[in-house]
Structure 1
Amino acid sequence: MNALRAITSVRLQVAYAAEQGIPVSRSLAGSGLNAGMLQQSDATIEAEQELTVVRNLCEQLDDPVAHGLAMGQRYHLSSYGVWGFALLSSQTFGDAIRLGLRYLGLTFAFLDIRLEEIGDQAFLVLDDTALEEAVRPYLLARDSSAIMVVQEELFSLRVPLTTLNLRLPPRDPAPFEAVFGRTPTFSAARSEAAFTQELLTMLLPQANPVTARLCEEQCHQLLVQRHSRGGMAARVRRRLLQQPGRYPDMEALAEEMHMSSRTLRRHLGKEGTGYQELMDEVRRMLAEQWLTLGILTLEEISERLGYSELSNFIHAFRRWTGQSPARFRRERKEEG
């Protein structure tokens, strides 16, 4: 949620809102965007600008959850650019999911999505806990609906879900059944969609290892570009990358930057992030790079990332990616 993002998602939502009778000017109010910018295909915006548009829509739409489900159906793979092509050319469904989550920052999702494999089930956890309540139901419906579009376009069929739990109050299940092919359990402790783990090994019809590798390289370059531009979050990231493993606490970093920790926290909050989130992001990026290179041991990587115990690093990596560092390294080696 920290990086710049394409304006595509705002364009799609403003067009949908116009169909519901909401003027473009009202949809864009307070976002710093205008109708002309929506026509610039290569324009990038801050996540907060899209959130402003989402807040406007939620204030105007009669049923944000129902409209979120409908809106999500408009996010086709082609909407995501190179990220979509990378998924299409992946070898298996599992490869596509893991690649997609590695570069989730190139999508329009506001949910923190991760894959967990437990027993014979695979769970896509749709974590919406960081979202403000005014927009959370809409974005949960929108992003989860968009996920179904992506997987249907990968397979040309809908993956059968074994479980659909949603952190939404009880309501008419029919619209959800139409999108997900399953009746949801409402008022769940967390939102998640589960399917049998064996589906992760299903081959994709347009698999192409060479294209997948090229697309992933482009995804990495694009993500770096979007993260490196401007803002307080970018300054903090650059500082954390200068001395991996020697991370100052927030007070010390704020002093380095000649401001109070309260001011730094406020600036980061305006950009939709926080110090711990940025530290986790940098650690994850470095961990994935070092694991892929295969030169350092897990203990060395853990130490370089500033963890006092290997178990703490393994726990953090599982939280970030849904799998252990050893498994990640093994899969990357097999892909190579």
Structure 2
Amino acid sequence: MQDAVDVALRYLDLSFTFTAPAAVLDGDRLVITLEPAALPDDVRPFLVERDLAAIHTVIGELVNGLVPVLSVDLTHPAPADTSEHEHVFGLRPRFAAARDQSVVDASVLARALPLASPEATALCERQCEDLAARRRRKPGTAQEVRRLLEGSARFEETMPVVARALGLSPRTLRRRLTEAGTSYQAMLDEVRAERAVVLLGTMSVEQAAGQLGFAEAASFIHAFRRWYGTTPSSYARSVLRP
């Protein structure tokens, strides 16, 4: 589990977190802290809870068991009903706390991952490194387009819509992306391909197709084969769920 945490933190910029998580070993405790300073106040509580719940869920799925949570602190006030919090974390969080954090028993780091695969790990790390390198090569407008696409729910935004969001004309946006060595369609495919791998870990091919904005599963399967050289089902069986 320790290796999985190290990889996750190394490629945190490729995730869908809105906060900045950090993990620190404090004796026999693992302290997971979230830094949400840049989040708007009206959505901050939701996004902090979302990210912290996601971290706990992923850890639980990796070790195939309950996460030994010792405490959960949240800086926002307590809601009227905390039953969902208790269901997710296994205890009632402390609200109006000094920081947003979760403390778990550090013994979880020593647990073996039941579905660990050295081959899948090596493949995923290579993909992460490639994606990180590609992001570093896309400054300026291209990076802004990527940011907007990554925040898209179902990729329904057309290039004119994205151009308007950036205060540009479609023609100017097209020219700037060409100067950066890419295009709107190429960036859309890139972000879709990245999210497809994430979605296939938790849902069916048909569900993933809908989330990615494809009208039908056949179109998604065709695109996925173009991106990865195999079908979504084969990829999920061999890499995500070996």
Deviates more, 1:126-135 or 1:197-206: 126-135
Query: What secondary structure is seen at the aligned counterpart in 2 of 1:164?
Result: strand
Paired residue for 1:129, among 37, 57, 64? 37
Counterpart of 1:192?
A: 101
Contact persistence 1:148–1:158 (CA under 8 A): no
Give unpaired runs (5+ residues) of structure 1: 1-92, 235-336
Q: What CA deviation, in whole Å up to 9, does each residue of 1:23-54 have, x standing for no partner?
A: xxxxxxxxxxxxxxxxxxxxxxxxxxxxxxxx
Over the aligned positions, Cα root-mean-square deviation in angstroms equals 2.0
Q: Is residue 106 from structure 1 mapped to residue 24 from structure 2 by the alignment?
A: no
- Report which structure shows greater RCO (CA 8 Å, sep ≥6): 1
Instruction: Answer whether contact 1:165 1:192 (CA < 8 A) is retained.
Output: yes
What displacement does 1:133 show? Answer: 0.9
The AA in structure 2 aligned to 1:159 is V
Distance of 1:229 and 1:144 partners within structure 2: 30
- Residue 122 of structure 2 is matched in structure 1 by 213
For 1:195, what is the secondary structure of its paired residue? strand
**Where in structure 2 are the equivalents of 1:125-164 lying within 5 Å?**
125-164=33-72
What is the correspondence of 1:222-233 to structure 2 with a 5 Å cutoff?
A: 222-231=131-140
Could you tell me which amino acid in structure 2 is paired with residue 175 of structure 1? E
SS of aligned partner of 1:199: helix
C-alpha distance after superposition, 1:93-141 (max 9, x if no partner): 1211121111111111011001111111111111112212122111112
What SS does the corresponding residue of 1:162 show, helix, strand or coil? Answer: strand
TM-score of the pair, normalised by structure 1: 0.40
CA distance in 1, matches of 2:105, 2:132: 31
Letter in 2 for 1:184: P
**What residue is the counterpart of 1:183 in the other structure?**
92
CA–CA separation in structure 2 for the residues paired with 1:164 and 1:106: 25
Cα deviation, residue 157, structure 1: 2.0
How many correspondences in the alignment?
A: 143
What's the secondary structure of 1:194's corresponding residue? strand
Q: Secondary structure at the match of 2:69?
A: coil
Q: Is the 8 A contact 1:167 1:191 kept in 2?
A: yes
Paired residue type of 2:124? C
Equivalent residue letter for 2:116: A
Cα distance change of structure 1 residues 124 and 130 upon mapping to structure 2, 3 Å threshold: same
Task: Please give the alpha-carbon distance, in whole angstroms, between the structure 1 residues aligned to 2:26 and 2:69.
Answer: 15
Q: CA deviation at 1:149?
A: 2.2
Q: Percent identity?
A: 37
CA distance in 1, matches of 2:139, 2:108: 41
Shift of 1:150: 1.2
Distance in structure 1 (CA, Å) of the matches to 2:129 and 2:85: 34
Deviating beyond 4 angstroms after TM superposition, the runs of 4 or more aligned structure 1 residues are none
The residue aligned with 1:19 is none
